[in-house]
A and B are shown apart, each in its own frame.
Chain A
Amino acid sequence: MVGLALKNLSFYKGRSITTFLLTFFSAYFFIVYVAFMDGSHSSMLKNALDVYTGSMQIYQKEYREEGGYDYLINDTQKVFNLLDNTRGIRAYSARVETYGIASSGERSAAMMLTGVDFEKEAKLSELKKALKEGVYDSKGACLYIGSELGKKLQVKIGDEVSFVGSAIDYSFVAELFKVCGTFKTGMYDFDNQSAFMNRDYFDEIFLSRSSASYIVANVNEMEENDRIAEEVAQKLPEDLRVYTWQELMKSMVELMKIDSLFGYISMSLFFLVIFFVVMIYGFINVSTRIREFGVLKSIGLSDRAIDRLLLDEIIILTLAALALAVPLGAYTAYYFEIHPIVIPGMSEMYKQYGVVSDTVPTRFSPLTIGWNAALVFALNLLSILYPMLYVRSFTPVEAMRHV
């Protein structure tokens, strides 16, 4: 049957070329599209996690629901020891947060002020890289302010910002800070509300000593994160709880799911069109050959053998198109993963979506390319089902009389 299928493909060139090209382009664009979509998601995730959130955070159980100073982690050293003894943890650091009003001149804004260990943060997060101006790791009443918050307060390096809030013992705190740096993570809300300061001075004015609102950690391999989080959770005292990045960034996970969903819906529509075009071409081709199938049936070719013949034809065409589209699509995805497309100004335009770079990230994944190709293959096989049933519906005489 394969030999006859090859002869048919060469004889009916128009249909063969059209099906080949449709399959080639749909497979190629699918591979490249999914590579860009996956790339932008993993980049969003990487940015979000690396910049600040980390891959897991440890809290007092009630802190995230109740908030406030009553639920701080007091024995941070115990947790540090535990993390030191857990394989796969890359870095960790304790952070302590407080909220208050920041003012400069006649402008005021709500601010989340976080005391951080600059040395540990450098290994853990990308706050250092996010610094736009100023020197990292200043001592004393130095404030590192989010770029959007800085704009709101209209402050620049060296300006003074007053902060009013409360200490751990709920006493009143008022402090005058000097702006030592501005940072831009690309996460708009974060840059619009946050400021950092040296942990030692934070402890001094807010009386937090060595307690922490939470401890943030990063792992070496993201694929291992859930397993490591589970291991840490088992070792933790009962009053502490581990939150993985999926729980911490539910909205981002949902956003990515929705984005993927819409991406796949638009791709499905694209495939639906391709599927029907391939099917219509297959059907037209089969219709013009009904007499021929009638002859084949009359001289002893069974319906099953004719099905095989049609399947062989579409399989040969699809495999030939995929043999070209897969390496080409894989190469394109790989090339753009290494040399991403740069669109100047893109990060500014899409900053609220967590876009921190002007590059369009691409993810090269052989496994993903494999299932992309398998899907195209399956759709093409599916497209020949109706023509096969159509041929089966004729008796040999009906088929030979078909006009």
Chain B
Amino acid sequence: MIKLKHVNKYFYQGEPREVHALKSIELEIERGEFSVINGPSGCGKTTLLNAIGVLDEITSGEIWLEEREIAHLSPREKTEIRLTQMGFVFQAYNLVPVLTVAENIGFVMRLQGYPAEEIRQRVHELASILQIEEKLDTLPSLLSGGQQQRVAVARAVASKPKIILADEPTANLDSKNSIKLMEMMKRLNEKEGITILFSSHDAYVVENARRVIMLDDGALV
């Protein structure tokens, strides 16, 4: 489903402080996989995830999603790919501060043009699964870290994307919330068939993943 061919990423290329963040990455991720990119801090996990999610430019190589090379698309086409095929969960939650929980969860569906009633039903369904029903009219700033992360997950899965990319989703959560989040992601993976790719160095996350992709100093191990 996702294929990376000889992907390189440099920061500050040509400058004295040049960093070779991704070194000739060759990787294939199958549909429905539940994988985690593991490695020490600064090894390039987030950079790799951002590259797969076409959130950032790569220096060279190719990234294929299904039958389409996506790394060299126009910004507009990349936005379209992210909107229609991907869901994102960030370490810092990254919810839209001016929108309520319900609006945040339904935001991507609204961008995709779903009818209001369908959005409402889906928001309630996810809120029920994630146990944040009573917070639907609350602004994100009034939620705890765990609750915000659950909203972020709900937003990522609401429109049923083909793949969810989650960057260190448990980094700001306590162990109880981390376990809850992992169980929920597993359930989504099993029930909805969504391909899930984490970046994490959390031992619990690594233990629960079906596949662990090891990264060290920008290279696959």
- Nearest B-chain residue to A300, judged by Cβ: B83
Is A300's CB under 8 angstroms from B94's CB? no
Q: Decide: A299 and B107 in contact? CB cutoff 8 A.
A: yes
A sample of 28 cross-chain residue pairs with beta-carbon separation below 8 angstroms, ordered by A number, consists of A4-B98, A7-B99, A11-B98, A291-B94, A294-B94, A295-B94, A296-B96, A298-B53, A298-B82, A298-B94, A299-B108, A299-B111, A300-B79, A300-B80, A300-B82, A300-B83, A300-B84, A300-B111, A300-B112, A302-B79, A303-B75, A303-B76, A304-B76, A305-B111, A395-B56, A396-B55, A396-B82, A400-B55
**A292 proximal to B (CB < 8 A):** yes
**19 more A-B contacts (CB under 8 A) besides A294-B94, A300-B112?**
A4-B99, A10-B98, A295-B90, A296-B96, A298-B55, A298-B88, A299-B82, A299-B88, A299-B108, A300-B79, A300-B84, A301-B79, A302-B80, A303-B79, A396-B56, A396-B82, A397-B55, A398-B56, A400-B90
Contacts of B94 in A (CB 8 A): 291, 294-295, 298, 400
Q: Does B42 contact A (CB under 8 A)?
A: no
Which listed residue, A292, A302, A303, touches B96 by the CB 8 Å rule? A292
| B40: A residues at CB distance < 8 A | none
Q: Is A8 an interface residue (CB 8 A)?
A: yes
B98 contacts A395, CB within 8 Å? no
Contacts of A397 in B (CB 8 A): 50, 55-56
Q: Is A199 part of the binding interface, using a Cβ–Cβ cutoff of 8 Å?
A: no
Q: CA A397 – CA B52 in complex, angstroms?
A: 12
Closest CB-CB distance, A347 to chain B, in whole Å? 58
Chain A contact residues: helix, strand, loop or mixed: helix
Closest to A299 in B: B108
Give the residue name and chain of the B residue nearest to A399 (CB).
Answer: B55
Q: Does B137 contact A (CB under 8 A)?
A: no
Q: Are A300 and B56 in contact (CB under 8 A)?
A: no
Q: Given the complex of chains A and B, what is the CA–CA distance between A395 and B111 in angstroms?
A: 19
A178-198 residues with Cβ-Cβ distance < 8 A to B are: none
CA A397 to CA B88, docked complex, whole Å: 12
Q: Categorize the interface residue count of chain A.
A: 20 to 34
**A297 CB-CB contact with B under 8 Å:** yes
**Count of interface residues, chain B, beta-carbon cutoff 8 Å:** 25
Closest 10 CB pairs of A and B: A300-B83, A397-B56, A11-B98, A7-B98, A295-B94, A396-B55, A302-B79, A397-B55, A300-B82, A397-B50
Docked pose: A301 CA to B78 CA in angstroms: 10
Asked whether B57 is an interface residue with its Cβ less than 8 Å from the other chain, the reply is yes
Alpha-carbon distance A19/B53, docked complex (angstroms): 37
Question: When each residue 278-296 of chain A gets 1 if its CB lies under 8 Å from chain B and 0 otherwise, what string results?
Answer: 0000000000000110111
Asked if B3 is at the interface of the complex by the 8 Å CB criterion, the answer is no
Task: Find chain A residues with CB under 8 A from B97 CB.
Answer: 11, 292
Q: For A398, what are the chain B residues with a Cβ–Cβ distance below 8 Å? A: 56
B155 at interface (Cβ–Cβ under 8 A)?
A: yes
Instruction: List residues of chain A with CB under 8 Å of any chain B CB.
Output: 4, 7-8, 10-11, 291-292, 294-305, 395-398, 400
A303 to B94, CA, bound (A): 18
Report chain A residues within 8 Å CB of B96. 292, 295-296
**How far apart are B141's CB and chain A's nearest CB, in angstroms?**
10
Contact mask for chain B residues 127-170; partner A; CB cutoff 8 A; 1 contact, 0 none? 00000000000000000000000000001000000000000000
Q: Which residues of A contact B82 (CB under 8 A)?
A: 298-300, 396
* Complex Cα gap A294–B79 (Å): 12
Residue from A291, A304, A396 whose CB has the most chain B CB atoms within 10 Å? A396
Cα–Cα distance between A99 and B79 once the two chains are bound (Å)? 85
Complex CA distance for A396 and B84, rounded to whole angstroms:
16
Give the CA-CA distance A329 to B89 in the complex, in Å.
51
Chain A residues in 8 Å Cβ range of B99: 4, 7
CA distance A397 to B51 in the complex (A): 10
B88 to chain A: closest residue by CB: A298
How far apart are A286's CB and chain B's nearest CB, in angstroms?
A: 14
Chain B residues, Cβ within 8 Å of A304: 76
Q: For the complex, give the distance between the alpha carbons of A289 and B98 in Å.
A: 11
Contact digits for B78-117, partner A, Cβ 8 Å, 1 yes 0 no: 0110111000101000111111000000011001100000
Q: In the complex where A395-B55, A395-B56, A400-B90 touch, is A299 in contact with B83 (Cβ < 8 A)?
A: yes
**Least CB distance, B194 to chain A, in whole angstroms:** 16
Q: Which residues of A have CB within 8 Å of B111?
A: 299-301, 305
**With the chains together, A170 CA to B76 CA distance in Å?**
89
Q: Which of B97, B98, B112 has the most CB of A within 10 A?
A: B98
Per the bound structure, the CA–CA distance linking A363 and B90 in Å amounts to 60
- A292 and B96 CA atoms in complex are apart in Å by 6
What is the CB-to-nearest-CB distance from A304 to chain B, in angstroms, rounded to a whole number?
Answer: 8
Inter-chain contacts of A292 with B (CB < 8 A): 96-97
Report how far A400 CA is from B53 CA in the complex, Å: 14
- CB-based nearest A residue for B54: A396
Residues of B within 8 Å of A294, CB to CB, are: 94
Q: Which residues of A contact B108 (CB under 8 A)?
A: 299-300
- Note all chain A residues with C-beta closer than 8 A to B55: 298, 395-397, 400
Complex formed: what's the CA distance from A398 to B82 in Å? Answer: 16
Taking the nearest CB of chain B, how far is it from the CB of A195, in angstroms? 77
Cα–Cα distance between A97 and B140 once the two chains are bound (Å): 87
Q: How far is the CB of A373 from chain B (nearest CB, A)?
A: 29
Q: Please, how many angstroms separate the alpha-carbon atoms of A8 and B103 in the complex?
A: 13
Which residues of B sit under 8 angstroms from A10, Cβ to Cβ?
98
